């Protein structure tokens, strides 16, 4: 627990069991339910589903929707706030049908709606969000088709609010709604001067991509009045960025947004709703701080700041409390899914060595290196040893390129070099002061665990924006992890790695893991991948989407669970088709080539059939490594 901090980032859903396995409590209000993750993996194997696999806990999704809505309702009652909470889930955070359907299902009880930010998302939510009492918020840039679809929603009795991001959209919306004779519900997005703090802080400020300036908001309201449509203006929206790390930015945004709402009210535009956007962060690194992968507040605190903040502004200004909308997707989905995979190998710079014994006629570089390795001890100046050894190694490499050293001699020098580095590392492990160059030693001597997955598919933000995600072994948590390592994936890209972790409360480039055992699989989980990571991945190296299993718990047996659904990941033929290949034609071509060899007598007919079948089986198989158990 001290190393991996599971209970700190686990949100009450994940913890370490007494047997050293990760346990899942999908509904923290019923802590008696404890699913052993190792048992989940065994069930996955039994179902014949290959790793890597995305494991979704729908109960967690339901629990998060219920949490957010209940906290808003309770805080509103406690604050004697007179508006209601009408949240929406922004589908861009995870558009998977099963995820959105689950949210809509549990959200019905709270009139919890959906938000769409593109035409395809609008088409999705139009079909899904059928509850007439919930809101559908439409953000993002829009064209004529977009407006028509939104108005179709109105025709179907839905509370679809078109949020104007740019002034020209307003003119388009008014024109089309008059043409169709359908009254729209209109929102305006304000370009806020307050900026969030964190990786997405450019969502606020004057250079923000979206939103209307103060002048444009006034012009919008006046234009609608001129057109006899002032009553259609219903909502003020702002969003100052995802993953807000500091609660102060939430407070500032509410007071600025509250002032805009109040002023509009006084100008004769009584809006019904204030939509505070997303921003509610996740504590990915378990530090509960303003570090970029964390946040210094809880969901409770966030909600209290929204409700009490808005109440304060409105009471001061003497305007009614608006209904509150929020668009949190990260906080709803992050915990509900994770990626489970297996370590398939270990890479170490110093893993192999050669016999470094003296050979006749060897180059004096080898002699010097051997002498240094055998003579230095506690009394030697260690920094000098490091400098000399590094210099010899570099010179040896140059000498090899100039054909002065043989490959065998170079291998001896390399072996001796790593021997020296290991001894230096042992020496400095207990030293009070470690010279700067030698601080890299732990990293260069650490292992790289080769992981059967693609960072680009399953953890895009760790590559793109250095987002930290918790990585933990699924078993053996009651054993001391003795191997410091980073993770590398199976893509042919040196960026395909994870070398940023939180150990305790520190950010490190290596994570302590357990020694691999030859006859026992070592499973690891990449957690909190439910928001964005699940859907943003790309097909680098043609590794497609992962197999997926959906886990539900049984009410009557707290340790039991079942796989409700298996969703097959992308097969090789699927990814090839996306890239415009024709897998059937490819299979035919390869068969013809095999047949040719059969005709020439190079392959026996039976063997030819087997090769053909094998190629076809691989074509329809999974894109990841087949690891067995």
**C-alpha–C-alpha distance, residues 190 and 6, integer Å:** 39
Nearer to ligand PLP, 303 or 575 (CB): 303
Q: In what order do the strands lie in the sheet with 135-138?
A: 88-90, 113-116, 135-138, 159-164, 185-189, 233-237, 273-275, 323-325
Residues 326-385 that bind ligand PLP (CB under 6 A): 327-330
Establish if 10 lies at the interface with ligand PLP (CB under 6 A).
no
Cα(167)–Cα(170) distance, rounded to whole angstroms? 5
* 460 lies in the site for ligand PLP, by CB under 6 A: no
Nearer to ligand PLP, 522 or 532 (CB): 532
Check binding of 111 to ligand PLP (CB under 6 A).
no
Per CB under 6 A, the segment of 143-151, 276-284, 294-302, 598-606 that binds ligand PLP is 276-284
The yes or no reply on residue 399 touching ligand PLP (CB under 6 A) is: no
Beta strands in 74-146 (DSSP E): 88-90, 113-116, 135-138
Q: Nearest to ligand PLP by Cβ — which residue?
A: 278
Tokens encoding 317:
């200004």
State the Cα–Cα distance between residues 257 and 255, nearest whole angstrom: 6
State the minimum distance, in angstroms, from the CB of residue 532 to ligand PLP: 7
Tell the smallest beta-carbon distance from residue 202 to ligand PLP (Å): 11
Residues 64-93 as x/- pattern, contact with ligand PLP by CB under 6 A: --------------------------x--x
Nearer to ligand PLP, 342 or 462 (CB): 462
E runs forming strands in 143-199 = 159-164, 185-189
Q: Identify the residue among 67, 69, 129, 139 touching ligand PLP (CB under 6 A).
A: 139
Cβ-Cβ contacts under 8 Å for 316 (sequence gap 6 or more): none
Which one of 10, 153, 279, 322 is in contact with ligand PLP (CB under 6 A)? 279
H/E segment holding residue 562: strand 561-567
Q: How many residues bind ligand PLP (CB under 6 A)?
A: 13
User: What b/e readout covers 284-299, taking b as 16+ CB neighbours within 10 angstroms?
Assistant: bbbbeebbbbbbbbeb
By CB under 6 A, residue 198 contacts ligand PLP: no
Closer by beta carbon to ligand PLP, 90 or else 496: 90
Residue 239 binds ligand PLP (CB under 6 A): yes
Torsion region of 392: left, alpha or beta (phi above 0 gives left; psi -120 to 50 gives alpha): alpha
Q: Return the range that interacts with ligand PLP (CB under 6 A); candidates 277-285, 340-348, 488-496, 580-588.
A: 277-285
Omega before 52 cis (within 30°)? yes
Of residues 200, 270, 212, 272, the one with CA closest to residue 238: 212
Under the binding rule (CB under 6 A), the answer on residue 50 touching ligand PLP is no
**Least Cβ distance, residue 189 to ligand PLP (angstroms):** 8
Interacting positions 297-336 with ligand PLP (CB under 6 A): 327-330
Which of 334, 242, 248 is closest to 290 using CA atoms? 248
Beta bridge partners of 15: 23
Based on the shown chain and the rule CB under 6 A, indicate whether residue 415 belongs to the binding site for ligand PLP: no
Residue 89 beta carbon to ligand PLP: minimum distance, rounded to whole angstroms: 9
Q: Counting contacts by CB under 6 A, is residue 177 touching ligand PLP?
A: no
Decide whether 139 or 553 has the Cβ nearer to ligand PLP.
139
Closest to ligand PLP by CB, 169 or 409: 169
Residue listed under structure tokens 């994770």: 338
Ranges of H-type helices in 156-246: 167-180, 214-226
Residues that bind ligand PLP (CB under 6 A): 90, 93, 139, 239, 242, 277-280, 327-330
């Amino acid at each position: 627990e001290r190393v991996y901090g599971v209970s700190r980032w686990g949100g009450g859903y994940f913890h370490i069991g007494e047997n050293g396995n990760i346990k899942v409590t999908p509904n923290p209000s019923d802590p008696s339910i404890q699913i052993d993750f190792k048992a989940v993996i065994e069930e996955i194997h039994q179902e014949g589903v290959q790793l890597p696999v995305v494991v979704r806990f729908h109960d967690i999704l339901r629990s998060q929707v219920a949490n957010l809505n209940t906290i808003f309702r309770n805080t509103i009652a406690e604050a004697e706030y007179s508006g209601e909470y009408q949240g929406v889930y922004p589908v861009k955070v995870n558009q998977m049908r099963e995820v959105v359907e689950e949210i809509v299902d549990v959200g019905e009880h709270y009139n919890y709606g959906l938000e769409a930010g593109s035409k395809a998302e609008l088409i999705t939510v139009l079909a899904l969000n059928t509850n007439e009492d919930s809101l559908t918020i439409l953000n993002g840039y829009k064209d004529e088709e977009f407006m028509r679809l939104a108005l179709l929603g109105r025709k179907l009795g839905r509370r679809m609010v078109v949020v104007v991001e740019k002034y020209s959209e307003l003119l388009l919306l008014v024109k089309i709604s008059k043409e169709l004779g359908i009254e729209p519900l209109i929102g305006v997005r304000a370009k806020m001067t307050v900026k969030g703090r964190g990786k997405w802080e450019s969502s606020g400020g004057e250079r923000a991509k979206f939103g209307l300036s103060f002048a444009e908001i006034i012009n919008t309201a006046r234009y609608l009045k001129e057109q006899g449509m002032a009553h259609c203006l219903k909502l003020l929206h702002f969003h100052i960025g995802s993953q807000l790390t500091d609660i102060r930015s939430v407070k500032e945004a509410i007071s600025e947004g509250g002032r805009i709402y109040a002023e509009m009210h006084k100008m004769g535009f009584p809006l019904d709703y204030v939509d505070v956007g997303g921003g509610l962060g996740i504590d990915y690194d378990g530090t509960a701080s303003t570090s970029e992968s964390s946040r210094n507040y809880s969901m409770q605190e966030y909600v209290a700041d929204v409700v009490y903040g808005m109440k304060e502004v409105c009471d001061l200004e003497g305007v009614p409390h608006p209904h509150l909308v929020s668009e949190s997707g990260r906080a709803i989905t992050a915990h509900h899914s994770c990626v489970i995979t297996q370590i398939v190998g270990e890479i170490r710079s110093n893993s192999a060595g050669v016999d470094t014994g003296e050979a006749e006629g060897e180059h004096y570089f080898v002699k010097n290196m051997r002498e240094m390795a055998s003579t230095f001890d506690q009394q030697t100046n260690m920094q000098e040893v490091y400098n000399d050894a590094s210099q010899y190694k570099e010179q040896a490499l140059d000498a090899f390129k100039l054909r002065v050293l043989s490959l065998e001699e170079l291998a001896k020098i390399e072996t001796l070099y790593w021997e020296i580095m290991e001894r230096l590392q042992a020496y400095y492990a207990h030293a009070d002061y470690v010279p700067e160059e030698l601080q890299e030693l732990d990293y260069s001597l650490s292992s790289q665990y080769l992981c059967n997955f693609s960072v680009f598919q399953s953890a895009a933000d760790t590559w793109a924006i250095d987002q930290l995600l918790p990585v933990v072994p699924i078993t053996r948590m009651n054993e001391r992890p003795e191997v410091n390592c980073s993770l590398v994936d199976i893509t042919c890209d040196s960026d395909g790695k994870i070398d940023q972790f939180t150990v305790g409360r520190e950010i490190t480039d290596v994570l302590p893991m357990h020694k691999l055992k030859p006859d026992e699989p070592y499973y690891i989980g990449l957690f909190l991948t439910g928001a964005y990571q699940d859907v943003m991945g790309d097909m680098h190296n043609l590794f497609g989407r992962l197999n997926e299993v959906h886990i539900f718990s049984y009410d009557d047996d707290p340790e039991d669970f079942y796989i409700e659904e298996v969703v097959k990941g992308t097969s090789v033929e699927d990814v090839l088709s996306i890239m415009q290949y024709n897998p059937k034609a490819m299979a035919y071509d390869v068969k013809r080539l095999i047949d040719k060899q059969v005709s020439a007598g190079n392959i026996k007919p039976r063997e030819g059939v087997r090769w053909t079948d094998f190629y076809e089986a691989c074509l329809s198989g999974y894109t990841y490594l087949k690891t067995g158990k």
